[in-house]
C-alpha cells in the first residue's frame, strides 16, 4: 500500500515537472535573446532526425547511415511545396509522407539483407542523393540550392521571426517525441527490442523480423522527413551540401553520444550536433575538427552509455553513502530529510521506508 502511494506521489511529481517544463518551453522564447532561440530551433531540427535514427538503430538495432538523405528529401519537398504555394500543413504532410514512402521502398529491399548489408544500402542513399539533387535542377535548384521562406512571423502574432520559428519547431518536436515515446513503450517497442536482441527468438514469438525492420526503417524515414521540414523552417535554404554523407556520420555520432535507445538521449544528441561546433568555434575556429574529436572521445570514455546516462552515473557515485547509512541509522535520518525524492534503496530495511512515509505525512 505504501509503495502504491509512493508511485502515485511520484506520478504527481512527474506531472508537475512536465507542466513546469512545458511552461518554461512556452515562455522561453519570449525571454531569451534571439541567438539562444535560433540555437534551440536548430537543436529541435536535429533532435527529430536523431530520434528517427534512434528508432531504427538504437531500438531496432539496424545500422542506418543514410538518415541525412531523408532529412534532405524532406527539406527539398518542403522547399518545392512552399515555392509552389501549397498549404503549409499539406507541405508538412508531404515532406513526411514522401520521405516515408521512399524509406519504405528502400526498406522493402534492404531489410531482406541481413546485418551489415543494410548499412551498405543506406550508405548509398546520400551518395546517390547529392548528384541526384544536382541533376534534378527543376525540382531542386541544382547545385546552387533553393531558398524558401515560410516561417516569418505573421503581423498579428506580434512575435519576432526567431520566436515564431521556435513555436513552429516546438510543436513539431513535441509531437514527434510524444509519438516516438508511445511507440517505443508499446507493443511495437517490444517488437523492436526483440528483433534487436535476437531475430530467431523474435520470430519464434510470432514477430516477423522483416516486417518489424521495414516498419522501423519507414518510421525513421518519416522522422527524417519531418526533420527536413524543420530544417527548412529554420535555415530557409537547402542545397546538395545539406545531404552530404559526412553529415550522416555526424548524426550517427550525435545519436551515440546522446544515448542509443533513449528518447531523451535523442534530444541530447540534437543538442550535441548543434552546440559542439559552436563551442569549438569559440575555442579556436582553426582547430574545430581536433577539438570536436577530443570532445567525442572524452564523452565516449567517460559516459559510454551516452550523455543520457549522466544522471545514472552520478547516482551510482552518490549511492555509496546510503549503503553505509543503512548500517548507521542516525546519519540516514538526517540525509533522508534533505532528499525527499530519494528512491528507496532496494536493500534498505522496510522500517526505513515507513519512516519516510511518516515524515512526509503530516
Binding site for other proteins (CB under 8 A): 32-36, 38-39, 42, 131, 134-135, 137, 142-145, 147, 149, 152, 161, 231, 234-242, 244, 246-247, 274, 277-278, 280-281, 285-286, 288-289, 311, 314-315, 317-318, 320-321, 335, 338-339
Question: How many Å apart are CA 312 and CA 289, to the nearest integer?
Answer: 30
- Closest contact distance (angstroms) between CB of 130 and other proteins is 8
Question: How many Å apart are CA 102 and CA 106, to the nearest integer?
Answer: 6
Element (H, E) at 189: helix 187-197
Phi/psi of residue 361, each to 5°? -50, -70
C-alpha distances out from residue 294 to 276, 280, 315, Å: 11, 10, 26
CB closer to other proteins out of 117 and 314: 314
CA triple 163-168-172, angle to 5 deg: 140
CB closer to other proteins out of 3 and 328: 328
- Which letter does DSSP use for residue 143 in this model? G
CB closer to other proteins out of 182 and 335: 335
- Closest contact distance (angstroms) between CB of 304 and other proteins is 19
- Closest contact distance (angstroms) between CB of 177 and other proteins is 21
- Closest contact distance (angstroms) between CB of 3 and other proteins is 24
CB closer to other proteins out of 42 and 196: 42
- Closest contact distance (angstroms) between CB of 214 and other proteins is 30
List the grid coordinates of 303: 559516459
CB closer to other proteins out of 50 and 202: 50
SS3 labels along 195-260: HHHCHHHHHHCCCCHHHHHHHHHHHHHHHHHHHHHHHHHHHCEECHHHHCHHHHHHHHHHHHHHCC
CB closer to other proteins out of 182 and 281: 281
- Closest contact distance (angstroms) between CB of 350 and other proteins is 24
Amino acid at each position: 500500500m505504501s509503495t502504491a502511494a509512493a508511485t502515485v506521489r511520484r506520478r504527481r511529481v512527474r506531472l508537475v515537472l512536465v507542466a513546469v517544463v512545458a511552461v518554461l518551453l512556452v515562455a522561453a522564447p519570449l525571454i531569451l535573446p534571439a541567438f539562444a532561440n535560433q540555437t534551440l530551433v536548430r537543436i529541435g531540427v536535429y533532435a527529430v532526425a536523431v530520434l528517427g535514427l534512434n528508432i531504427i538503430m538504437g531500438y531496432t538495432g539496424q545500422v542506418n547511415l543514410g538518415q541525412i538523405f531523408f532529412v534532405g528529401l524532406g527539406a527539398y519537398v518542403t522547399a518545392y511545396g512552399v515555392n509552389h504555394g501549397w498549404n503549409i500543413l499539406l507541405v508538412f504532410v508531404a515532406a513526411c509522407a514522401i520521405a516515408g514512402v521512399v524509406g519504405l521502398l528502400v526498406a522493402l529491399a534492404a531489410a531482406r539483407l541481413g546485418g551489415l548489408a543494410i548499412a551498405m544500402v543506406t550508405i548509398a542513399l546520400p551518395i546517390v542523393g547529392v548528384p541526384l539533387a544536382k541533376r534534378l535542377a527543376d525540382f531542386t535548384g541544382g547545385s546552387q540550392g533553393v531558398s524558401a521562406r515560410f516561417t516569418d512571423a505573421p503581423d498579428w502574432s506580434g512575435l519576432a521571426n526567431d520566436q515564431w520559428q521556435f513555436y513552429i519547431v516546438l510543436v513539431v518536436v513535441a509531437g514527434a517525441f510524444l509519438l516516438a515515446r508511445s511507440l517505443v513503450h508499446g507493443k511495437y517497442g517490444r517488437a523492436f527490442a526483440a528483433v534487436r536482441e535476437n531475430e530467431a527468438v523474435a520470430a519464434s514469438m510470432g514477430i516477423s523480423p522483416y516486417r518489424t525492420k521495414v516498419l522501423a526503417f519507414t518510421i525513421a524515414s518519416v522522422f527524417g522527413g519531418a526533420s527536413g521540414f524543420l530544417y527548412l523552417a529554420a535555415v530557409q535554404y537547402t542545397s546538395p551540401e545539406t545531404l552530404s554523407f559526412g553529415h550522416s556520420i555526424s548524426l550517427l555520432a550525435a545519436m551515440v553520444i546522446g544515448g542509443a535507445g533513449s528518447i531523451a538521449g535523442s534530444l541530447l544528441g540534437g543538442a550535441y550536433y548543434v552546440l559542439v561546433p559552436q563551442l569549438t568555434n569559440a575555442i579556436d575556429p582553426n582547430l574545430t575538427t581536433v577539438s570536436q574529436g577530443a570532445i567525442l572521445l572524452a564523452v565516449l570514455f567517460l559516459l559510454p552509455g551516452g550523455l543520457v546516462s549522466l544522471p545514472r552515473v552520478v547516482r551510482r557515485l552518490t549511492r555509496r553513502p546510503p549503503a553505509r547509512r543503512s548500517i548507521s541509522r542516525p546519519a540516514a535520518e538526517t540525509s533522508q530529510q534533505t532528499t525527499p525524492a530519494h528512491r528507496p534503496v532496494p536493500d534498505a530495511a522496510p522500517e526505513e521506508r515507513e519512516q519516510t512515509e511518516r515524515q512526509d505525512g503530516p
